[in-house]
Amino acid sequence: MNQLCTGLLLWLALSLSAAAGIVPENGHDEVVYYADAYAAHYEISKELVHAIITQESGWNPSAVSAKGAMGLMQLMPATAQEYGVRNPFDISENLSGGVRYLADLMQQFGGDFRLVLAAYYRGSGPILRRGLHYSGVDVYAYVASVRRLYLAELAFHKSPANLVLGGD
């Protein structure tokens, strides 16, 4: 019964995501190719990478934030430099640096998604100084938003047969 409920919930999430048009990677084949390749290389969930791209840039390789973050994964200049990204608007370079940064945060915070996402948004320094805690309405909103997008990505990448049967 539990597998059936899980399957139905995932199916509902998939349906709502599709109905709301939350399949932003459609039409971005080159970005998906590099995002998935770097996710596999750094052993990060491709769904998490997709969720971060959706949140950060809306799949726009030319995106620039008011604070100066650039490209698909919205790398700050210092982060881009630290990860060897010379052109943050180059799809491959931006994703390579961004996913590697994400992998480093996953290792630093023991895979705790909440802390990893908070650190991706705010930087790891404030999280470490607060004893592995984060604060701020904007940080909580960011973590919650990426979590929702991540769950939608997981649901989207499940096949309808797996949803009904409760398989992987």
The CATH number covering residue 133 comes to 1.10.530.10
Q: What is the DSSP string of 97-165?
A: HHHHHHHHHHHHTTT-HHHHHHHHHH-HHHHHHTTS----HHHHHHHHHHHHHHHHHHHHTS-HHHHHH
**Residue 69 domain flag:** yes
Tokens 């370079």, located at residue:
93
168 residues of the chain, pLDDT tens digit each: 444 444 444 444 444 444 344 456 666 789 999 999 999 999 999 999 999 999 999 999 999 999 999 999 999 999 999 999 999 999 999 999 999 999 999 999 999 999 999 999 999 888 887 777 787 889 999 999 999 999 999 888 774 443 443 444
**Residue 166 domain flag:** no
> CB-based burial of residue 158 (10 Å sphere; 0-12 exposed, 13-18 middle, 19+ buried)?
middle
Assess whether 153 carries a catalytic annotation: no
Domain count, the chain: 1
The catalytic residue among 30, 43, 56, 82 is: 56
**Residue 133 domain flag:** yes
* Residue-range definition of the domain harbouring residue 136: 25-158
**Residue 1 domain flag:** no
Q: Residue 76: its pLDDT value, please? A: 96
pTM: 0.79
